[in-house]
Protein backbone atom coordinates (compact mmCIF):
# COMPACT_ATOMS: atom_id res chain seq x y z
CA UNK A 1 0.00 0.00 0.00
CA UNK A 2 0.97 3.61 -0.62
CA UNK A 3 1.79 5.48 2.60
CA UNK A 4 -0.48 8.53 2.87
CA UNK A 5 -1.20 11.45 5.17
CA UNK A 6 -4.76 12.79 5.27
CA UNK A 7 -5.05 16.53 5.84
CA UNK A 8 -8.48 18.15 5.95
CA UNK A 9 -11.21 20.14 7.63
CA UNK A 10 -13.93 17.62 8.55
CA UNK A 11 -16.50 18.55 7.36
CA UNK A 12 -18.88 15.88 6.26
CA UNK A 13 -17.35 14.99 2.88
CA UNK A 14 -13.87 14.99 4.47
CA UNK A 15 -15.25 12.49 6.99
CA UNK A 16 -16.48 10.18 4.24
CA UNK A 17 -13.17 10.60 2.39
CA UNK A 18 -11.19 9.59 5.48
CA UNK A 19 -13.43 6.58 6.11
CA UNK A 20 -12.90 5.54 2.48
CA UNK A 21 -9.12 5.69 2.96
CA UNK A 22 -9.15 3.97 6.36
CA UNK A 23 -11.23 1.14 4.89
CA UNK A 24 -8.76 0.58 2.01
CA UNK A 25 -5.63 -0.91 3.63
CA UNK A 26 -4.59 -2.84 0.52
CA UNK A 27 -4.22 0.40 -1.43
CA UNK A 28 -3.22 2.96 1.22
CA UNK A 29 -1.62 2.98 4.63
CA UNK A 30 -2.79 6.00 6.64
CA UNK A 31 0.22 7.28 8.60
CA UNK A 32 -1.71 10.04 10.32
CA UNK A 33 -4.60 12.44 9.98
CA UNK A 34 -4.18 16.22 10.22
CA UNK A 35 -6.85 18.79 10.93
CA UNK A 36 -6.92 22.36 9.69
CA UNK A 37 -9.33 25.32 9.91
CA UNK A 38 -11.93 25.39 7.13
CA UNK A 39 -15.51 24.20 7.00
CA UNK A 40 -15.72 24.81 10.76
CA UNK A 41 -13.08 26.21 13.16
CA UNK A 42 -10.01 24.15 14.07
CA UNK A 43 -11.25 23.03 17.50
CA UNK A 44 -14.22 21.40 15.76
CA UNK A 45 -12.30 19.87 12.84
CA UNK A 46 -9.88 18.43 15.42
CA UNK A 47 -12.69 17.00 17.53
CA UNK A 48 -14.26 15.57 14.37
CA UNK A 49 -10.97 13.94 13.37
CA UNK A 50 -11.11 11.93 16.59
CA UNK A 51 -14.75 11.02 15.91
CA UNK A 52 -13.90 9.75 12.41
CA UNK A 53 -11.11 7.57 13.78
CA UNK A 54 -13.62 6.11 16.23
CA UNK A 55 -16.14 5.50 13.42
CA UNK A 56 -13.50 3.56 11.49
CA UNK A 57 -13.19 1.00 14.30
CA UNK A 58 -10.11 -1.20 14.12
CA UNK A 59 -8.84 0.67 11.04
CA UNK A 60 -8.58 3.92 13.02
CA UNK A 61 -7.33 2.48 16.28
CA UNK A 62 -3.62 3.17 15.89
CA UNK A 63 -3.74 6.16 13.54
CA UNK A 64 -2.35 9.32 15.18
CA UNK A 65 -4.03 12.67 14.79
CA UNK A 66 -2.31 16.08 14.60
CA UNK A 67 -3.98 19.48 14.80
CA UNK A 68 -2.61 22.21 12.56
CA UNK A 69 -3.35 25.79 11.60
CA UNK A 70 -6.29 27.57 13.18
CA UNK A 71 -6.35 30.29 10.51
CA UNK A 72 -5.20 31.04 6.96
CA UNK A 73 -1.73 32.45 6.24
CA UNK A 74 -2.84 35.97 5.34
CA UNK A 75 -6.57 36.42 4.79
CA UNK A 76 -9.16 36.34 7.59
CA UNK A 77 -10.70 32.95 8.40
CA UNK A 78 -13.93 31.83 6.76
CA UNK A 79 -16.15 28.79 7.39
CA UNK A 80 -18.92 26.86 5.61
CA UNK A 81 -21.37 26.02 8.38
CA UNK A 82 -24.32 26.37 6.00
CA UNK A 83 -22.99 23.35 4.08
CA UNK A 84 -21.65 21.25 6.97
CA UNK A 85 -23.69 22.36 10.00
CA UNK A 86 -22.23 24.22 12.99
CA UNK A 87 -20.51 21.07 14.25
CA UNK A 88 -19.14 20.02 10.83
CA UNK A 89 -20.62 16.55 11.28
CA UNK A 90 -24.41 16.88 11.29
CA UNK A 91 -25.37 13.38 12.44
CA UNK A 92 -27.24 12.42 15.61
CA UNK A 93 -25.50 9.36 16.90
CA UNK A 94 -21.74 9.84 16.73
CA UNK A 95 -19.14 8.11 18.92
CA UNK A 96 -16.86 10.10 21.23
CA UNK A 97 -13.48 11.00 19.70
CA UNK A 98 -11.11 8.07 19.83
CA UNK A 99 -8.27 10.23 21.12
CA UNK A 100 -7.01 13.77 21.54
CA UNK A 101 -4.61 15.23 18.98
CA UNK A 102 -0.90 14.62 19.57
CA UNK A 103 1.16 17.53 20.90
CA UNK A 104 3.07 17.91 17.60
CA UNK A 105 1.74 20.49 15.11
CA UNK A 106 0.40 18.93 11.89
CA UNK A 107 2.97 20.75 9.73
CA UNK A 108 5.81 19.38 11.86
CA UNK A 109 4.37 15.88 11.65
CA UNK A 110 4.30 16.16 7.85
CA UNK A 111 7.96 17.20 7.83
CA UNK A 112 9.02 14.32 10.10
CA UNK A 113 7.01 11.70 8.24
CA UNK A 114 7.98 12.78 4.72
CA UNK A 115 11.69 13.07 5.58
CA UNK A 116 11.57 9.58 7.08
CA UNK A 117 10.34 8.06 3.78
CA UNK A 118 11.73 10.26 0.99
CA UNK A 119 9.79 10.00 -2.28
CA UNK A 120 7.17 7.68 -0.82
CA UNK A 121 4.43 9.64 0.88
CA UNK A 122 1.28 10.95 -0.76
CA UNK A 123 -0.39 13.88 0.99
CA UNK A 124 -4.13 13.95 0.39
CA UNK A 125 -5.38 17.43 1.29
CA UNK A 126 -9.13 18.02 1.32
CA UNK A 127 -9.26 21.44 2.95
CA UNK A 128 -7.47 24.79 2.79
CA UNK A 129 -3.74 24.16 2.16
CA UNK A 130 -2.46 26.07 5.20
CA UNK A 131 -0.82 23.09 6.95
CA UNK A 132 0.89 21.94 3.76
CA UNK A 133 2.13 25.45 2.94
CA UNK A 134 3.52 25.86 6.47
CA UNK A 135 5.35 22.53 6.16
CA UNK A 136 6.79 23.52 2.75
CA UNK A 137 8.00 26.89 4.10
CA UNK A 138 9.50 25.39 7.27
CA UNK A 139 11.21 22.61 5.29
CA UNK A 140 12.14 23.77 1.77
CA UNK A 141 13.41 20.26 1.02
CA UNK A 142 9.89 18.84 1.42
CA UNK A 143 8.35 19.53 -2.03
CA UNK A 144 11.05 17.35 -3.59
CA UNK A 145 10.63 14.63 -0.97
CA UNK A 146 6.85 14.21 -1.06
CA UNK A 147 5.66 11.73 -3.65
CA UNK A 148 2.71 13.92 -4.54
CA UNK A 149 0.09 16.22 -3.10
CA UNK A 150 -3.43 15.31 -4.16
CA UNK A 151 -5.60 18.32 -3.41
CA UNK A 152 -9.35 18.68 -3.52
CA UNK A 153 -9.63 22.31 -4.41
CA UNK A 154 -9.94 24.82 -7.20
CA UNK A 155 -11.67 24.37 -10.51
CA UNK A 156 -10.92 24.71 -14.22
CA UNK A 157 -14.15 26.66 -14.52
CA UNK A 158 -16.45 28.42 -12.06
CA UNK A 159 -16.32 28.41 -8.27
CA UNK A 160 -18.80 27.42 -5.59
CA UNK A 161 -18.23 29.82 -2.70
CA UNK A 162 -18.03 32.73 -5.13
CA UNK A 163 -18.64 32.69 -8.88
CA UNK A 164 -14.86 32.56 -9.34
CA UNK A 165 -13.53 30.56 -6.40
CA UNK A 166 -13.88 27.11 -4.92
CA UNK A 167 -14.07 27.03 -1.09
CA UNK A 168 -10.70 25.39 -0.26
CA UNK A 169 -8.87 27.72 -2.64
CA UNK A 170 -10.69 30.79 -1.33
CA UNK A 171 -10.24 29.83 2.32
CA UNK A 172 -6.43 30.18 1.92
CA UNK A 173 -5.40 31.37 -1.54
CA UNK A 174 -1.89 32.24 -0.38
CA UNK A 175 -1.33 28.72 0.90
CA UNK A 176 -2.59 27.32 -2.41
CA UNK A 177 -0.11 29.61 -4.19
CA UNK A 178 2.75 28.31 -2.03
CA UNK A 179 1.89 24.67 -2.76
CA UNK A 180 1.16 25.06 -6.48
CA UNK A 181 4.46 26.91 -7.06
CA UNK A 182 6.53 24.72 -4.71
CA UNK A 183 7.82 22.33 -7.36
CA UNK A 184 6.03 19.43 -5.66
CA UNK A 185 4.09 17.08 -7.89
CA UNK A 186 0.47 18.15 -7.38
CA UNK A 187 -2.73 16.56 -8.66
CA UNK A 188 -5.62 18.99 -8.40
CA UNK A 189 -9.06 17.46 -7.95
CA UNK A 190 -11.27 20.48 -8.60
CA UNK A 191 -14.96 21.18 -8.88
CA UNK A 192 -14.94 20.48 -12.61
CA UNK A 193 -14.24 16.86 -11.64
CA UNK A 194 -16.01 16.46 -8.31
CA UNK A 195 -19.31 17.97 -9.46
CA UNK A 196 -19.53 14.92 -11.77
CA UNK A 197 -20.12 12.69 -8.74
CA UNK A 198 -23.40 13.35 -6.92
CA UNK A 199 -24.74 11.54 -3.84
CA UNK A 200 -28.24 11.01 -5.24
CA UNK A 201 -31.12 9.64 -3.10
CA UNK A 202 -30.65 6.06 -4.39
CA UNK A 203 -26.99 6.25 -3.31
CA UNK A 204 -27.96 7.46 0.16
CA UNK A 205 -30.35 4.55 0.34
CA UNK A 206 -27.58 2.13 -0.71
CA UNK A 207 -25.28 3.49 2.01
CA UNK A 208 -28.01 3.09 4.60
CA UNK A 209 -28.82 -0.42 3.37
CA UNK A 210 -25.24 -1.53 4.12
CA UNK A 211 -26.60 -2.06 7.63
CA UNK A 212 -23.50 -0.83 9.51
CA UNK A 213 -23.00 2.33 11.57
CA UNK A 214 -20.57 3.90 9.07
CA UNK A 215 -23.08 3.51 6.23
CA UNK A 216 -25.88 4.97 8.33
CA UNK A 217 -23.72 7.96 9.36
CA UNK A 218 -22.60 8.62 5.76
CA UNK A 219 -26.21 8.49 4.62
CA UNK A 220 -27.32 10.88 7.37
CA UNK A 221 -24.50 13.34 6.66
CA UNK A 222 -25.25 13.31 2.96
CA UNK A 223 -28.96 13.85 3.61
CA UNK A 224 -28.13 17.09 5.46
CA UNK A 225 -25.73 18.05 2.64
CA UNK A 226 -28.37 17.41 -0.03
CA UNK A 227 -30.55 20.16 1.44
CA UNK A 228 -27.87 22.73 0.62
CA UNK A 229 -27.27 21.36 -2.88
CA UNK A 230 -30.97 21.34 -3.74
CA UNK A 231 -31.45 24.88 -2.50
CA UNK A 232 -28.31 26.40 -4.01
CA UNK A 233 -27.63 24.38 -7.17
CA UNK A 234 -30.98 22.75 -7.88
CA UNK A 235 -29.37 19.30 -8.05
CA UNK A 236 -30.54 16.10 -6.45
CA UNK A 237 -27.77 15.56 -3.87
CA UNK A 238 -24.37 16.79 -2.74
CA UNK A 239 -21.12 16.42 -4.67
CA UNK A 240 -18.65 13.90 -3.25
CA UNK A 241 -15.72 16.33 -3.48
CA UNK A 242 -13.30 14.98 -0.88
CA UNK A 243 -13.96 11.24 -1.42
CA UNK A 244 -13.14 11.79 -5.11
CA UNK A 245 -9.68 13.09 -4.11
CA UNK A 246 -9.06 9.90 -2.11
CA UNK A 247 -10.33 7.94 -5.10
CA UNK A 248 -7.65 9.53 -7.27
CA UNK A 249 -5.11 7.66 -5.09
CA UNK A 250 -7.03 4.44 -4.40
CA UNK A 251 -8.38 3.85 -7.93
CA UNK A 252 -6.34 6.11 -10.27
CA UNK A 253 -7.34 3.96 -13.25
CA UNK A 254 -10.83 5.50 -13.07
CA UNK A 255 -9.48 9.04 -13.62
CA UNK A 256 -7.90 11.14 -16.33
CA UNK A 257 -5.54 13.98 -15.44
CA UNK A 258 -3.84 16.55 -17.67
CA UNK A 259 -0.64 18.48 -16.99
CA UNK A 260 -1.55 22.14 -16.84
CA UNK A 261 -0.34 25.52 -15.67
CA UNK A 262 -2.45 26.55 -12.68
CA UNK A 263 -2.15 29.88 -10.90
CA UNK A 264 -4.18 31.17 -7.97
CA UNK A 265 -5.44 34.72 -7.71
CA UNK A 266 -4.17 36.12 -4.41
CA UNK A 267 -5.35 39.70 -4.93
CA UNK A 268 -8.59 40.51 -3.17
CA UNK A 269 -11.39 41.32 -5.58
CA UNK A 270 -13.83 39.58 -7.86
CA UNK A 271 -11.47 36.68 -8.64
CA UNK A 272 -9.87 36.24 -5.19
CA UNK A 273 -9.09 32.52 -4.77
CA UNK A 274 -9.74 31.59 -8.38
CA UNK A 275 -7.52 28.84 -9.80
CA UNK A 276 -6.69 30.07 -13.28
CA UNK A 277 -6.12 26.94 -15.37
CA UNK A 278 -4.44 27.26 -18.75
CA UNK A 279 -6.55 24.62 -20.51
CA UNK A 280 -5.18 25.36 -23.97
CA UNK A 281 -1.60 26.33 -23.16
CA UNK A 282 1.53 24.23 -23.22
CA UNK A 283 2.72 23.59 -19.65
CA UNK A 284 6.31 24.57 -18.96
CA UNK A 285 8.68 21.66 -18.16
CA UNK A 286 8.85 23.02 -14.60
CA UNK A 287 5.06 22.89 -14.16
CA UNK A 288 4.36 19.87 -12.04
CA UNK A 289 0.61 20.24 -11.66
CA UNK A 290 -1.88 17.80 -13.14
CA UNK A 291 -5.57 18.61 -13.21
CA UNK A 292 -8.32 16.00 -12.95
CA UNK A 293 -10.64 16.11 -15.98
CA UNK A 294 -12.79 12.95 -16.09
CA UNK A 295 -13.72 10.04 -13.84
CA UNK A 296 -15.79 6.89 -14.11
CA UNK A 297 -18.12 8.08 -11.42
CA UNK A 298 -20.35 5.01 -11.19
CA UNK A 299 -17.36 2.68 -10.73
CA UNK A 300 -15.94 5.14 -8.21
CA UNK A 301 -19.16 5.20 -6.19
CA UNK A 302 -19.45 1.39 -6.27
CA UNK A 303 -15.96 1.16 -4.76
CA UNK A 304 -16.71 3.79 -2.11
CA UNK A 305 -19.88 1.91 -1.15
CA UNK A 306 -18.05 -1.38 -0.90
CA UNK A 307 -15.35 0.18 1.31
CA UNK A 308 -17.78 1.93 3.69
CA UNK A 309 -19.44 -1.46 4.01
CA UNK A 310 -16.24 -2.89 5.48
CA UNK A 311 -16.37 -0.58 8.51
CA UNK A 312 -18.29 -1.26 11.72
Q: Which of 4, 6, 7, 11 binds Ca ion (CB under 5 A)?
A: 11
Does the protein bind ligand BDR through residue 11 (CB under 6 A)? yes
Give the residue at shortest CB distance from ligand BDR: 167
Q: Name the residue among 199, 162, 141 with its Cα closest to residue 16.
A: 199
Q: Residues 65 to 84: which contact ligand BDR by CB under 6 A?
A: 80, 83
Under the binding rule (CB under 6 A), the answer on residue 219 touching ligand BDR is: no
- Return the range that interacts with Ca ion (CB under 5 A); candidates 14-22, 47-55, 156-164, 285-293: 14-22
Quick one: 60 or 243, whose CB is closer to ligand BDR?
A: 243
Question: Residue 302 and residue 312: Cα distance in Å, rounded?
Answer: 18
Nearer to ligand BDR among residue 111 and residue 169 (C-beta): 169
Cβ neighbours for 162, distance < 8 A, ≥ 6 positions apart: 170, 272, 273
Shortest spacing between CB 56 and ligand BDR, in angstroms: 18
- Going from the C-alpha of 204 to that of each of 50, 156, 272, 305, 307, the distances in angstroms are 24, 28, 34, 10, 15
Catalytic-residue membership of 43: no
> With contacts defined by CB under 6 A, how many residues of the chain interact with ligand BDR?
15
From residue 12 to residue 41, what is the string marking binding to ligand BDR with x (rule CB under 6 A)?
A: -xx------------------------x--
Q: Is residue 301 within 8 Å of residue 196, measured between CB atoms? A: no
CB of 171 to ligand BDR, least distance (A): 8
Binding Ca ion (rule: CB under 5 A), the pick from 35, 48, 126, 194 is 126
CA distance 135 to 290: 21
Say which entry of ligand BDR, Ca ion, none residue 148 contacts (CB below 5 to 8 A, set by partner kind): none
Beta bridge partners of 290: 187, 259
DSSP E strands: which ranges in the chain?
A: 2-8, 28-35, 65-67, 122-125, 148-152, 186-189, 198-199, 238-239, 255-259, 262-264, 275-277, 289-295
Active site residues: 241
Amino acid sequence: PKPIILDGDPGLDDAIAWMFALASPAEVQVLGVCSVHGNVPLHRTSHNAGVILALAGEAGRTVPHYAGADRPLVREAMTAAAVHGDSGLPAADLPAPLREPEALHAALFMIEAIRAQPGEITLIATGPLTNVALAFRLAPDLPALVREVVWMGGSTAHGNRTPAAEFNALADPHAAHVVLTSGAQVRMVGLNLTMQCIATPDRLEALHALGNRAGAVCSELLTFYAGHYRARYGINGGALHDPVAVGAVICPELFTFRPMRVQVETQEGLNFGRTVCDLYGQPEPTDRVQVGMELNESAFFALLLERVGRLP
